[in-house]
Chain A
Amino acid sequence: MTKDKAEGGGDDMLLDGCEFEQRQRNAVPEGFNSNYLKLYYGKLFPHIDIYKWMSYGNDGKHPSCDPSYFGRREFSFTLENDIYLRFQSFNSTAELENSIKDKCPFKIDIGPVYSVDPSKRHAYAQSGDNVFTPMERELIFDIDITDYDDVRYCCSGADVCLDCWPLMTIAIKVIDTALRDDFGFNNILWVYSGRRGVHCWVCDGRARRLTNEQRAAIAEYFHVYRGNENSHKKVSFQGPLHPFLVRSYNEVLETFFEEKLLCGQQLFATEERFEKILNMIPEQSIASELWGKWQETRRSSTSKEDINIVRWKQLKRLLQSGKQKGLRKCVEEIIFTYAYPRIDMEVSKHMNHLLKAPFCVHPKTGRVCVPIDPSHCEDFDPTTVPTLSTLLEELNMCGSEVEIDNELDRTSLGQSIKFFRSSFLQPLLKSCKEDMESSYNAKIQQSKNSLSW
């Protein structure tokens, strides 16, 4: 069995040796194509979990269940040749699964639950009273790291690395806390977008029933950074901060800025970079003073401390010791500019906006869109997310040595799916069931009351 052995020859090593060699033999070249996808959709993609999720408990036997619910959900498939199929709908796991396996979409998007089956929408469009309209839709957020390109220097465009990924960690922490503590939502799923960002799905009933206006309000509540290359100062605080911003600053932004971003992004290391920050200081004399000081100390003389930290401390000291209130808030404005989450407003505002389904594979990176645990998001590493080819390799591994029933568990995807089920899906379905029961009981009670005069 083993021809080329690794060092050591104990029984334990036998297994490793086998694995290593099997790996060589089963190596699957990196890539993304329909053959790989066929295998992925055949053996790994969690069709039934998606079905259960999207059914929100309506697939049960309870009298409150609405059997048409799942069938009114829009899915859209992007096929190999950029062919785009909208308004796909299915009535069961089997239909969903078969269609996916058959069409092998490069991307699967999920839309809202409509008033009627989307595939029958034309029949209703004629009546002109907007009978074909979205009824429910998760509250969603899309955060893309390219929206931070003006404040990250390590990468640009589609790349992402461990120096800039903390920006996503910050976004998750700030928004997740607000969604739970402020808005009272509980069933929240964070997903890696596969390349350079994260998505958030808020699935509470209350969230799904929000109107466009209410979604826009929540998006605006999160909106702080305004502007693009045409405006200079993107964050400008008029007075004391709202408690949500205070909490975000104290609990997340300040620490991450000082401990990760300052050095990770070398924010003060070059003239071009620190000039950007100095431009945000309204008091010209202070900006000039710092400018002058930093021109002189090109290479930090004796201090062992990182130059970015040194300069930041100098800047903070000057701004915070000033008598003018306007200067003290400048420190916050800088931190918010470099760290505060930047969501895509349009994605969140409209019920009919489509969003990529979790567990899809990203065509450009081959990485799977796996869930992220918000309470441990600082440990998430986008560079180690399983890729399509790795997973297929893992599938190919010899099965006789190791007894595992589930093909899924043989692969690194198994962990993600377990997490999805235990942290998200099960609690969600439990609360759906409770909601159904309580609303049903309330109705019964009401009809009883109306009868007894």
Chain B
Amino acid sequence: MEILRSQRKTSSTDVVPTLPLYRSAPPLEVRLEDFEIFAIDRLRVLKGISDGLSRGKKPEEMEKLTSDLWKAHMRHQNASEVINKDIISHFVLRLVYCRTEELRKWFLQMETALFRYRFRQESLESQRALMGEFDLPCKQVSHPEFEVLKEKLGQLLRSIGQLSPNAADTIFFKVPFEEVPDLVSTRRVLIVKGFAYVAMNQVVSLLVTQFRSLLSKALVLTNRKWTSTISVQEKDRLTPIVEALSTSYLGPDYSQPKEALEISIKDIDQVANASFPLCMRHLFEKLREEHHLKHGGRMQLGLFLKGVGLKLDDALAFWKAEFSQKVGAERFDKEYAYSVRHNYGKEGKRTDYTPYSCQKIILSTPGGGDHHGCPYRHFSEENLRAALGKMGVGGRAVEDVMDKVRNRHYQLALLQRQPKDPSIKEPYCNMKNDYCKLLQGDSVVLEGLRLAIILEG
């Protein structure tokens, strides 16, 4: 099995990639004002992307949006300075967003999205040049090999809705399947003897994976350097700017809730009825009905209850009260109590698990006998309407919800039913911050929605 590395184009071709890969901090001199200004401009672009994704924009729209945002904010009087602004602003934001796990996650997602949409707009030659930069373990499929696989490649192209089903029009690259997990999982590539045959326009996926992985590692290193040396060295110069940038500006709001939320066993039915999102209500009702839930349901509901403030002792009592009606108190203690305690970080690795995000719930795969997952995604139209009806949602509201579901905006469908105060335009959270945390703002959910859209196909 040979893995050929694509040639590094040392002799410069006519095409200079305009898309930097940010592999190393440039030895440039930056004026202090520019330091801040460039960063803010880039942040506007990233925030714009974040907003676009949360509104469920399609890839073509995102491409255009990205291009507009870039033109609007990332210009420079001297044309030659444009690329410097690009690079500098990226590295400054790295300092700003490397400091916590959540900041890193958001930055990684936005920069990766930015890279993906910019890449798509590059010319073919430029794209090929960039591929060369990445040192990917892939090579172009030779003509004889192509002839052998032509029929299957044609089938593959039709199955992914490629407009010109003529395989001959498409250049394919051969790469070990491990390199393109997202294409494998969605069956968007032909896989033969361990190699995935990737169409040129899917190469983006390959590069994006590499880009994300490089940036992710770099952020962790940057964080280490920041905490160990830079923040102290720069305490009079850069540090105040970096800190101001991260708090004063946008990005998701991950501040801790001011009041700790608490919920007790006696309130639980009432609160469930009034305020639980549909997925949790469904699980809750099934639990009351059947006095049992399978593993997926226990995890999804259990962690949610923890997240909204159900204490461990109350949780144990709650689950025991239900389960003992089906399996007996002794069996509960033996088989189920451990995992309740585990969720609260009292057993095993002692990780304090957080409730599942909408993304995770939407992407889960409930099977026979399961009741977890996202009803907006996993229920049939009929069952969803019935469930909404039971909650007293009627008429117009139901249609709005169904419309969102049809367009696969599951999370928006959920929020659709929430608003009680018409003056509030933003999705309304009626269970304080912890509930909102589930609807973890912007970026994280979008990725989930987009993936859900792809997987659905």
A→B interface (CB under 8 Å) = 82, 125, 146-150, 181-185, 206, 210, 213-214, 216-221, 223, 226-233, 238-246, 342, 344-345
B187 at the interface (CB under 8 A from A): yes
Pick the most buried of B186, B191, B194, B349: most chain A CB atoms within 10 A of its CB: B191
A–B complex contacts, Cβ < 8 Å, 18 sampled: A146-B368, A147-B368, A182-B192, A184-B192, A184-B193, A184-B194, A210-B178, A214-B178, A216-B185, A218-B184, A221-B185, A221-B187, A221-B191, A228-B367, A232-B383, A239-B158, A344-B367, A345-B365
- A182–B187 Cα gap in the complex (Å)? 12
Contact call B190/A243, Cβ cutoff below 8 A: yes
**CB proximity of B78 to chain A, nearest CB, Å:** 43
**CB proximity of B201 to chain A, nearest CB, Å:** 17
- A146–B368 Cα gap in the complex (Å)? 8
B181 at the interface (CB under 8 A from A): yes
B192-205 CB contact bits vs A (8 Å, 1 = yes)?
11110000000000
**CB proximity of B297 to chain A, nearest CB, Å:** 11
**CB proximity of B407 to chain A, nearest CB, Å:** 15
B→A interface (CB under 8 Å) = 152, 155-156, 158-159, 161, 177-178, 181-182, 184-187, 190-195, 334, 349, 365-371, 375, 378-380, 382-383, 455, 457
Closest to A226 in B: B365
- Counting residue pairs across A and B whose Cβ atoms lie within 8 Å, the total is 102
> What chain B residues lie within 8 Å of A217 (beta carbons)?
181-182, 184-185
- A390–B349 Cα gap in the complex (Å)? 42
- A36–B347 Cα gap in the complex (Å)? 34
Decide if the interface of chain B is mainly helix, strand, loop or mixed.
mixed
> What chain B residues lie within 8 Å of A218 (beta carbons)?
184-185
Given contacts A82-B334, A221-B187, contact A240 B367 (CB under 8 A): no
- A214–B334 Cα gap in the complex (Å)? 35
> What chain B residues lie within 8 Å of A220 (beta carbons)?
184-186, 455
> What chain A residues lie within 8 Å of B375 (beta carbons)?
230
> What chain A residues lie within 8 Å of B367 (beta carbons)?
147, 227-228, 342, 344-345
Task: Name the contact of A150 in the complex, choosing from B191, B368, B380 (C-beta under 8 A).
Answer: B368
> What chain A residues lie within 8 Å of B161 (beta carbons)?
239
Contact call B178/A221, Cβ cutoff below 8 A: no
> What chain A residues lie within 8 Å of B152 (beta carbons)?
243
> What chain B residues lie within 8 Å of A210 (beta carbons)?
178
Q: A147-B368, A183-B191, A228-B368 are in contact. List 13 more A-B contacts (CB 8 A).
A: A146-B368, A182-B191, A184-B193, A184-B194, A219-B185, A220-B455, A221-B185, A230-B378, A240-B159, A243-B159, A244-B191, A246-B155, A345-B365
Task: Name the contact of B156 in the complex, choosing from A146, A227, A243 (C-beta under 8 A).
Answer: A243
**CB proximity of B280 to chain A, nearest CB, Å:** 15
**CB proximity of B444 to chain A, nearest CB, Å:** 17
**CB proximity of B386 to chain A, nearest CB, Å:** 10
- A216–B185 Cα gap in the complex (Å)? 7
Contact call B158/A232, Cβ cutoff below 8 A: no
**CB proximity of B158 to chain A, nearest CB, Å:** 4
Given contacts A228-B369, A242-B159, contact A233 B181 (CB under 8 A): no
**CB proximity of B256 to chain A, nearest CB, Å:** 22
Contact call B383/A230, Cβ cutoff below 8 A: yes
Contact call B156/A242, Cβ cutoff below 8 A: yes
> What chain B residues lie within 8 Å of A244 (beta carbons)?
187, 191
Task: Name the contact of A223 in the complex, choosing from B349, B365, B371, B457 (C-beta under 8 A).
Answer: B365
Contact call B382/A232, Cβ cutoff below 8 A: yes
Contact call A240/B181, Cβ cutoff below 8 A: no
- A216–B360 Cα gap in the complex (Å)? 14
Closest to A184 in B: B194
Complex A-B, nearest 8 residue pairs according to Cβ-Cβ distance, in ascending order: A184-B194, A220-B185, A217-B181, A232-B380, A217-B185, A184-B193, A217-B184, A240-B158
Given contacts A147-B368, A232-B380, A232-B382, contact A206 B194 (CB under 8 A): yes
- A231–B457 Cα gap in the complex (Å)? 16
**CB proximity of A202 to chain B, nearest CB, Å:** 12
Contact call B185/A227, Cβ cutoff below 8 A: no
> What chain B residues lie within 8 Å of A228 (beta carbons)?
366-371, 378
Contact call B186/A181, Cβ cutoff below 8 A: no
**CB proximity of B148 to chain A, nearest CB, Å:** 13
- A226–B195 Cα gap in the complex (Å)? 27
Task: Name the contact of B368 in the complex, choosing from A149, A216, A238, A240 (C-beta under 8 A).
Answer: A149
> What chain B residues lie within 8 Å of A239 (beta carbons)?
158-159, 161
> What chain A residues lie within 8 Å of B194 (beta carbons)?
183-185, 206
> What chain B residues lie within 8 Å of A227 (beta carbons)?
366-367, 378
Contact call A213/B181, Cβ cutoff below 8 A: yes
> What chain B residues lie within 8 Å of A185 (beta carbons)?
194
Contact call A231/B379, Cβ cutoff below 8 A: yes
> What chain A residues lie within 8 Å of B365 (beta carbons)?
223, 226, 345
**CB proximity of B166 to chain A, nearest CB, Å:** 14
**CB proximity of A166 to chain B, nearest CB, Å:** 19
- A342–B371 Cα gap in the complex (Å)? 17
> What chain A residues lie within 8 Å of B379 (beta carbons)?
230-231
> What chain A residues lie within 8 Å of B378 (beta carbons)?
226-228, 230-231
